[in-house]
């Protein structure tokens, strides 16, 4: 038979163990709820900051687009229309060339109409809602190559499995990297490579310029914006440089799972 004192001791021990376990469980639940609340607040803060940066990116893209539209209208469309305006005078001075001249006029008008249609796409409000990174990079590359200062080549899939707002944000990061390379690298060639996998998108901007030696210690606003916007996309960005050029490598996940874990 158990002694009364032993029974009391066992009851007290079991009670203490129960209290300790219960307290530990309650503390665990409280800490879990606190972590859940902090995680929710962090997600809300990130979402708010993403919206803010998205709006800023939209404004920047629209401003750049309006500047490009003005330049295209002045340098391209107006020149084409001026050339077309001269054709009737050719017909009057040389009626024998009327048929050939009319064919040229029809061709020039068709090209001009097509160019105007392409420009008006950038003025459609649905353009930003359906933003396509690849198409806009192709336009940016064409614009830079037209200056004949350097050559940019790009290898990319036709479409990216990424939401339009994230493509717009990524475009601003790449655009900033391109502008830095064009202005500061002294390169004659820039290469852009985009690849997609099951988990994310990898993008590289490489140049054959002089590189940089400060390792971004005195980074400016543009570099900070690139880093911040990449973090909002839950991705990573890194710079490498040597005597034969520099590179910017960006990785963007297609889901938030890895980041949250």
**Interstrand relation of 151-155 and 245-253 (parallel, antiparallel or unpaired):** unpaired
What percent of the chain is predicted at pLDDT more than 70? 82
Distance CA(238)–CA(247), nearest Å, equals 8
Q: What is the DSSP letter of 73?
A: I
Task: Please report where in the chains the tokens 């090209």 appear, as a residue.
Answer: 111
Which tens digit of pLDDT belongs to each residue from 153-180?
A: 999 998 889 888 899 889 989 989 998 8
Distance CA(106)–CA(182), nearest Å, equals 38
Residue 53's pLDDT band, with cuts at 50, 70 and 90, is: confident
Is 119 in contact with 73 (CB distance < 8 Å)? yes
- Supply the pLDDT for residue 239: 93
Q: The dihedral of CA 139, 113, 121, 158: what is its sign? A: negative
Q: Give the neighbor-by-neighbor strand order of the sheet with 151-155.
A: 151-155, 189-196, 200-207, 245-253, 236-242
Task: Assign 196 to helix, strand or coil.
Answer: strand
- The residues, ordered by sequence, that sit 6+ positions from 233 with a Cβ below 8 Å of its Cβ are 166, 169, 170, 252
Which tens digit of pLDDT belongs to each residue from 68-125?
A: 666 667 666 777 788 788 788 877 888 887 888 888 888 888 888 877 776 666 566 5
- Supply the pLDDT for residue 256: 53
Distance CA(82)–CA(166), nearest Å, equals 41
Is 134 in contact with 158 (CB distance < 8 Å)? yes
Q: What is the DSSP letter of 75?
A: I
Taking residues 12-24, report their average pLDDT.
82
Task: Assign 5 to helix, strand or coil.
Answer: helix
Domains annotated for the chain, with CATH where assigned, are 131-261 (3.30.565.10)
Distance CA(87)–CA(108), nearest Å, equals 10
Which tens digit of pLDDT belongs to each residue from 181-210?
A: 888 888 999 999 999 988 899 999 999 988
- Supply the pLDDT for residue 215: 53
Nearest to 150 by CA among 114, 118, 192: 192
Which tens digit of pLDDT belongs to each residue from 118-135?
A: 666 656 656 667 788 898
Distance CA(35)–CA(81), nearest Å, equals 65
Distances, alpha carbon 95 to alpha carbons 11, 86, 90, in Å: 119, 14, 8
């Amino acid at each position: 038979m158990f002694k009364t004192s032993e029974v009391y001791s066992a009851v007290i021990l079991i009670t203490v163990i129960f209290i300790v376990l219960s307290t530990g469980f309650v503390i665990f639940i409280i800490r879990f709820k606190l972590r859940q609340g902090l995680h929710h607040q962090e997600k809300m803060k990130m979402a708010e900051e993403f919206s803010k940066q998205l709006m800023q990116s939209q404004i920047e893209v629209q401003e750049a687009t309006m500047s490009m539209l003005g330049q295209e209208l002045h340098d391209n469309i107006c020149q084409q229309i001026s050339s077309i305006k001269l054709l009737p005078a050719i017909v009057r001075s040389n009626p024998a060339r009327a048929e050939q001249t009319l064919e040229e006029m029809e061709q020039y008008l068709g090209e001009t109409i097509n160019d105007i249609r392409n420009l008006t796409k950038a003025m459609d409000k649905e353009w930003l809602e359906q933003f396509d990174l690849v198409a806009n990079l192709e336009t940016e590359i064409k614009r830079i190559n037209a200056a004949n200062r350097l050559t940019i080549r790009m290898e990319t899939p036709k479409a990216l499995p990424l939401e339009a707002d994230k493509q717009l944000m990524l475009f601003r990061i790449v655009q900033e990297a391109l502008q830095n390379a064009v202005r500061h690298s002294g390169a004659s060639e820039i290469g852009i490579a985009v690849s997609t996998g099951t988990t994310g998108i990898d993008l590289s901007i490489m140049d054959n310029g002089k590189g940089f030696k400060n390792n971004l210690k005195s980074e400016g606003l543009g570099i900070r914006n690139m880093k911040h916007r990449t973090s909002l996309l839950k991705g990573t960005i890194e710079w490498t440089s040597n005597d034969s050029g520099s590179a910017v490598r960006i990785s963007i996940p297609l889901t938030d799972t890895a980041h949250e874990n």
